[in-house]
Chains A and B, each alone.
Chain A
Amino acid sequence: MPKPKAILSALTSIVLLMFTGSAFAAYELNLPTPAAPLTQQMFDLHMLTTKIATIIMIVIIVIVVYAIFKFRKSKDYQADQNFHTGAFGTWSWILVPVIVLGIDLTIAGSASDALKQVEDYSQKNDVTIKVIGSQWKWTYEYMDDDIRVVSNILPEEKAGDNYLRAVDNPLVLPVNKRIRLLHTASDVIHAWWVPEIAYKKDAIPGYINETWTNIQKEGTYRGQCAELCGTGHAYMPIVVEAVSQEKYDAWKARQKAAKAAALAEASSDKVWSKDELMSKGKTVYETSCAACHQVNGEGIPGVFAALKGSKIATGDKAKHIDVVLNGVSGTAMAPWGAQLNDLEIAAVVTYERNAWGNNANDTVQPADIKSARK
């Protein structure tokens, strides 16, 4: 009698499920716990289909395993040559469509209810955020408050365990408010996704897609870009800070004050000293540039250019300013002109020309940037 090998095949997936289940119980085996009504509905739908899927699989496995052991030649079972011509053989084809259609309609019923919720844009929104994906960062525009947040990946040294899921400036949102998210992109297609609170909808250049959420619980929610967007696809995380309305209002006030101060500083005619520019430039560099070029300016060989000792960062000043302002087409270097003000660009260029042993020994003033922009 042959060894019952077949049962192994039949139970492979179940065994694996138990193996992974017990050994890694501490890790996520399911979608993360939802924190918004829509994601809760999706989670419930996911559990419904998972249960139906499990039952179907058990039924199939039981029938197949039974057949394998019962109807085998080694047990001298004689094949029933007329099985397929009998009443069952002739009419059973009706069974499958009827049963499967029944299951399908059950699923489709709950699914279409949830889908109508997803696509329900009739209610009043409390906050509207425009989410702009670009290679490789997210920009959030608070449409009602004229606040703009640029969100870059936090380098590994700072992010620690959350590396690739941590950013410098998170999206701050109030809880228990209906939030409208408008998705678009500036270059290629991206997708904004935070599983606990916000499902995916692609950010497509030339399109504005709408989603909504209503966060029920304060906390930090993390996600990643979900649509392949080129070299830095793995390096554009998303972090949402959900806070109470009071904290949200306070945060908004701080943002507005900081913005006004920065604007006033940048537009003054002051000539900045090298030390001032260097210290400002270091901050700008580490938030905006270090994700690719690294904190030590050495880049990642073959992927992101090194600035330490590079021709541009030690050569002609005008060329250097041009690269930072306008980017380099066909490469990963993005244009920064729209995101950084004159002072920030002046500072970061000065910093790059004089840090890590680079010795251009000159300074760049905001006025230089102003004229380069024309």
Chain B
Amino acid sequence: MTAVTHDEHHHDEPPKGFKRWLYSTNHKDIGTMYLIFALVMLFLGGGMAMLIRAELYMPGLQIVDPDLYNNLVTDHALIMVFGLVMPAAAGMANWMIPMMIGAPDMALPRMNNMSFWLLPAAAILLVLSLVVQFIPGTGVPVNTGWTLYPPLSVQVGLGMDLLIFTVHLLGISSIMASINIVTTILNMRAPGMPMMKMPLFVWSWFFTGLLLIIIMPVLAGGVTMLLFDRHFGTSFFDAAGGGDPVLFQHLFWFFGHPEVYVLLLPSIGVLGLVIPTFSRKPLFGYKPLVYFMGFLFTLGLIVWAHHQYTIGMSLGVTMYFMIGTILISIPVGLMIFNFIFTMWRGSMTFETPMLFAIAIILMFSFAGVTGVMLAVVPADLQYHDTMFVVAHFHYALIPGAVFGLYAGVFYWLPKWTGHMYDEKLGKIFFWWTTLSFNVTFFPQHFSGLAGMPRRIVDYNSMYIEFNQISTIGAIAFGLSHLLFLYIIIKTVKGGEKAPDKPWEGSQIGTTGLEWTLPSPPPFHSFTTPPEIK
């Protein structure tokens, strides 16, 4: 199969000027906008992380006051979750899923436009919720952490209202994007592409989309009840009025735990393409991977209260959540196992995406084993809300989600831009970012075990060494992303021409149609349904 046959069908050029972007219904343009948005948010959220770590370099208050510190902690989390990982994954879904399954575009292109353009509006509201504290009379800044637990969040001033509306907009945007992706996957597959032949990335987004459709309304409901408690005299979460502060935690984590898999699954999907490509052999155990993703999807929905082991649940309920949580190691273990055995007896080369993939297998496994440690309730009663937890979820989410996206970026950059990225710079970026990541977060396990709570602006001098190592690592980790940005810009601007199949193993073991198109693909791909051998 070559792409030449498709070229003849496409004469239409993209519209010129701002209309191309503002009115876009093209999955590739919208995908690009999602990715650019995520890149901007990466630097915004990363900048906040730098401030947080700089403040923690020394005991005492040097840079920010306690409320601003906790506001930065709150916004760093929200930006990285809703601004970086989800839009970046959605951008890749927009770009790749129609091309993989042989669809002309997304199923609902206008809704696609709206679900993207809600994001900049949400980002503006979020930034407003941060800066509004500098206007006198707007009350306490959002010092609650991203979990927004009442009653603390009821004490907060105007910033909390802006943040609640931010969450509403983000929720609407993700629900629409998810409906769009799930609909596309179910209805727009080319003839000859049954569900069980779809590339793993498509499967991962199918489950991600379903998860988002289930959980987002619960979060929206929870924060709306919070809004009513704040302004309209209800007392859903106020014990003095007959309400229950813990109810909000259940609503939040019913969203919050599956959200972890929302962040994780698309990256697992990327690994399911990257590892076979650079091992030059088909994915090991495709069917079990799909079924166990479904298992993970189901388990993810019913173990939320392991984030709340300390709220005082009954013995039976705690036991249920503990065992459910420990069982998550089964689907995750299978994924790791299958990825390792995809490499086994392969013929591996180590381009940047593959380096990331291998690092993810190792570092995400590490997050997995500390996850089992945390799942064990009696031990968690010691770890809970310490820096140990911070270290654990950064190991889960940075390798598990963010590095997976980086692997995807390097894997698909040649397809998106038509140029090969600079392999040498890519490898430098990989080593720089992976090593500095470990320097940043590995010591936090120890400061947590030694008793340092999370979300504190000032700490006793006994924790100083670990915090200084961590801050030095964090600054290096942050700076590495300037190189990332440079590599992307350089690749967009020019470079070695990328062939249709930029990787030797591109098409091995997958029926995906993305490599049958030229690099970059035409503005409209597949105006007639392609055939699959």
Q: Is A24 in contact with B65, judged by CB distance below 8 angstroms? A: no
Given the interface pairs A83-B284, A92-B285, A200-B385, the reply to whether A163 lies near B370 with Cβ below 8 Å is: no
Partner of A189, one of B245, B284, B376, B434: B245
Q: Which residues of B contact A233 (CB under 8 A)?
A: 66, 70, 455-457
CB of B122 within 8 A of chain A? Answer: no
Q: Give the tally of cross-chain contacts (CB within 8 A).
A: 327
The answer for the CA separation of A343 and B17 in the assembled complex, in Å, is: 75
Chain A residues within an 8 Å CB radius of B455 = 228, 233
Q: Is B239 at the interface (CB under 8 A from chain A)? A: yes
Query: CA A68 – CA B347 in complex, angstroms?
Result: 10
Minimum distance in angstroms from A94 CB to a CB of chain B: 9
Q: Indicate if B319 sits at the interface (CB-CB under 8 A).
A: yes
Q: Shortest Cβ distance from B367 into chain A, in angstroms?
A: 11
B349 proximal to A (CB < 8 A): yes
Judge if A259 is at the interface, Cβ distance under 8 Å: no
Residue A97, interface by CB 8 Å = yes
* A253: chain B residues within 8 A (beta carbon): none
Tell me whether A89 and B285 are in contact (CB under 8 A).
Answer: yes
Given the interface pairs A84-B285, A191-B385, A303-B66, the reply to whether A74 lies near B327 with Cβ below 8 Å is no
Chain B 491-503: CB-based contact to A (< 8 A → 1; otherwise 0) = 0000000000000
**How far apart are the CA atoms of A150 and B514 in the complex, in Å?**
67
Tally of chain A residues near chain B (CB < 8 A): 109
Please name all residues of chain B whose beta carbon is closer than 8 Å to the beta carbon of A202 when the two chains form the complex.
310-312
Q: Which residues of B contact A29 (CB under 8 A)?
A: 446, 449-450
A164 touching B458, Cβ below 8 Å: yes
Which residues of B are found within 8 Å of A163, using beta-carbon distances?
Answer: 59, 460-461
- Please give, as numbers and ranges, the residues of chain B lying within 8 Å of A81 by CB-CB distance: 281-282
Contact of A56 with B365 in the complex, beta carbons under 8 Å: yes
Residues of A near B244 (CB, < 8 A) are: 206
A78 in contact with B152 given A206-B240, A226-B385 (CB within 8 Å) = no
A56-B369, A234-B457 as given contacts; A201 in contact with B381, CB under 8 Å: yes
Q: Say yes or no: is B266 at the interface (Cβ < 8 Å to chain A).
A: no
A187 touches B151 (CB 8 A): yes
Give the CA-CA distance A53 to B149 in the complex, in Å: 32
8 Å CB interface, B271-320 against A: 279-286, 288, 292, 310-312, 314-315, 318-319
Whether, in the assembled complex, A165 has its beta carbon less than 8 Å from a beta carbon of chain B, the answer is yes
Q: Which residues of A contact B282 (CB under 8 A)?
A: 81, 84
CB-defined A-B contacts under 8 Å, sample of 25: A5-B431, A20-B469, A41-B378, A52-B369, A53-B373, A60-B361, A84-B286, A100-B329, A100-B330, A104-B330, A108-B322, A112-B322, A115-B315, A116-B315, A188-B149, A188-B151, A189-B149, A199-B381, A200-B381, A200-B384, A202-B310, A202-B312, A227-B385, A230-B70, A231-B70
Q: List 11 extra interface pairs beyond A111-B377, A111-B379, A202-B310, CB under 8 A.
A: A42-B381, A49-B373, A57-B369, A64-B343, A67-B346, A72-B350, A79-B346, A83-B341, A104-B329, A199-B381, A207-B246
